Structure 1
Amino acid sequence: MNFWETITGSDLTREWKAFETRAEALPADFREAWRQITAHLLPYAGFTGRNLMPILDGALGLLEETAADGQSIHEVVGDDIEGFCTALAGGEGARSYRDRWREQLNRNVARKLSRLGG
């Protein structure tokens, strides 16, 4: 990856298109699971989303392998796709973008209040 790709995010676009191409080759129920996995993982993305690319690649690889082995989607991710995604993102307590924004807001309010009070 060169500097220009890093700045523009073109490497991420290329990688995302490759993921979508791979996902299109999956059976319908696996494609639906992939759609749900990406939707549930996006809140855990950093500013650029680069931190999710290895996780998404691994999740898609798991779906590809298990589909090729003839397993059902429920054998792979179970009935709780959101819980599966939480585990992928780092387990319970993993910080989402909402958590980071909330912490930043709380710090800013506390800073303002300390200026007013002191």
Structure 2
Amino acid sequence: MGIQDIIEGKKQWRAHLARVKALPRDYQIVYKEMQRYLFKVGPIDLVGGTLLSGIVDFFEEGVADGKGVLELIGDDVAAFCDDLIKDSPTNADIFQESISQRRTSGA
């Protein structure tokens, strides 16, 4: 990864954050909770992938349709996030695999 890649990544992240800040306050709060949860759970491709920008797209559509954020995702933010990443490998999965491999190899 070169310096140009880092600069471009920062530009994209700032543009992403600007989109989040343009959302209504209740959407921003839920987005931040989702982001916090997803960073904790750790899907491998979270930052480089399309998950976070896809959430913002989904929220922007909800705003355009005049829906409240909880109408879109329900009352359980964690359950909604878990459903989004159910087929994605997480850092926790990789850690669990490494533990299992150590146990089977006797290390």
Output the TM-score relative to the length of structure 2. Answer: 0.80
1:58 alignment partner in structure 2: 54
Q: Give how far 1:112 is off.
A: 2.7
2:28 alignment partner in structure 1: 31
SS in 2 for 1:26: coil
2:10 alignment partner in structure 1: 13
Q: 1:112 to 1:49 in 2, by over 3 A?
A: farther
46, 49, 56: which one pairs with 2:47?
A: 49
Structure 1 CA distance for aligned equivalents of residues 79 and 102 of structure 2: 32
For structure 2, the 5+ residue unaligned runs are none
For residues 70-109 of structure 1, the aligned pairs below 5 Å read 70-90=66-86, 94-109=88-103
Q: Give how far 1:5 is off.
A: 5.7
- Given that 2:43 and 2:89 are in contact with CA atoms closer than 8 Å, whether structure 1 keeps it comes out as no
Structure 2 CA distance for aligned equivalents of residues 48 and 56 of structure 1: 7
1:116 alignment partner in structure 2: none
Higher relative contact order structure (alpha carbons within 8 Å, sequence separation ≥ 6): 2
Match status 1:67 vs 2:38: no
Q: 1:100 to 1:27 in 2, by over 3 A?
A: same
Structure 1 CA distance for aligned equivalents of residues 38 and 97 of structure 2: 20
Output the amino acid matched with 2:47. G
RMSD between aligned residues: 2.4
Q: Give how far 1:47 is off.
A: 7.1
Quick check: which one's helix share is greater? 1
Q: Give how far 1:108 is off.
A: 2.0
Greater gyration radius: 1
- Given that 2:37 and 2:78 are in contact with CA atoms closer than 8 Å, whether structure 1 keeps it comes out as yes
Structure 2 CA distance for aligned equivalents of residues 47 and 67 of structure 1: 26
Q: 1:15 to 1:90 in 2, by over 3 A?
A: farther
Per-residue CA distance 1:50-81 (angstroms, 9 max, x = gap)? 2xx31111110111111122111111111011
Match status 1:111 vs 2:105: yes
